[in-house]
Amino acid sequence: MNNVEQEYTQPIGLDVGTSRIVVARAAKDKKYEYHTQLNAFLALPHSKLAEDLLRQQEVFHEVQGTELVVVGNDAEKFAEVFHVEMRRPMKNGVLNPQEPHSLAVVRSIITRLVGKASAPGQKVFFSVPAPGESLDSAITYHSASIQQILVELGYQATPIEEGLAVVYGELAGSNYSGIGVSCGSGLCNVALAVLSVPVISFSAPKAGDFIDANSADVTGDRANRLRVLKEQAFALNGFSTDRVQNALTVYYQEMITNLITTLRNQISSSQKLPKLEQSVPLVLSGGSAMPKGFLEKFNKTLSANEFPLRLSEVRVSSDPLHSTARGALMAALC
């Protein structure tokens, strides 16, 4: 971490996502500065020579027992070299209980991104998933673990649900009223807020990892390669002669249908839904919302059945990968 970052004493926003961990800091001229690491790792057999070589090449790694654990963005490079899948310390939006390195890897990445607090009690808001299918107890443990990591670094750490962070990051123009949706890797997180107060929040289980894993199963490709393709070159524009394109299209449609059905049901069944005199915006963010054609497919599925709220607009964030971190920062600045 450089001296400029060490001297930064303002609040910080932290998006602790299944696929990426992103830190947001305030910069000059009402702009923001972001730093990102993949939330992933690769374990290699330990040898003194390999450890020395990784250190010489400034590869982000740790020694854990008999293994060299390559962490973050560097893990993707090594996975490509060895043609293997990266391992993931989080699953479905929370720490992966089946992964023994999960907490240590997440701690390493967060420490690399935020460093020690520059002032006693420096504020940081960090994202957590909203309640979902069988997730409540896992979210409690996950949130407490991330908070403890940050407290040990000297921060005053506060969790914020991911969908609400999107509202803070994207809906200032509507007085923080509307629906924020984060289409991430582990989950789709949703919040309906009125004047920044959350009214409904939930998470839906089918998200980016669901698309990658199922597409990999039917094509024989690696899920990590499909993730990269999905974010960089994939267009959601119908079927073609390409089987990877077709597989991604099928599972994207399933994710979108599940998200909209869950959203419609959650709003329709809510007993505390306020009477809204005006229509509200809906904004989509997250890596899984990035492909060309996503918004059109979402709108087409949304319009197939009546929606229980009047929507003034439906749009994708102009910066979907940083929306949650930016919103967490804005909440911390309030």
pLDDT at residue 81, as a whole number = 83
pLDDT > 90? residue 141:
yes
* More confident of the two residues 334 and 80: 334
Give the pLDDT confidence of 206-227 residue by residue, as tens digits. 999 999 999 999 999 988 888 8
DSSP string, 34-80: EEEEES-EEEEE--HHHHHHHHHTT--EEEETTEEEEETHHHHHHHH
Residue spans per domain, the chain: 41-47+58-87, 168-316
| CATH architecture of the domain with residue range 168-316 | 2-Layer Sandwich (3.30)
pLDDT > 50? residue 328:
yes
Helix axes 223-232, 208-219, angle to 10 degrees: 120
Percent of the chain whose pLDDT exceeds 70: 98
Considering the entire predicted model, what is its pTM? 0.93
pLDDT at residue 276, as a whole number = 84
| Integer Cα distance of 38 and 245 in angstroms | 24
In this structure, the chain runs to a length of 334
Give the pLDDT confidence of 156-166 residue by residue, as tens digits. 999 999 999 99
- Cβ pair 259, 206 in contact under 8 A: yes
Amino acid at site 1 = M
Range of lowest pLDDT (16-20, 41-45, 142-146, 236-240): 236-240
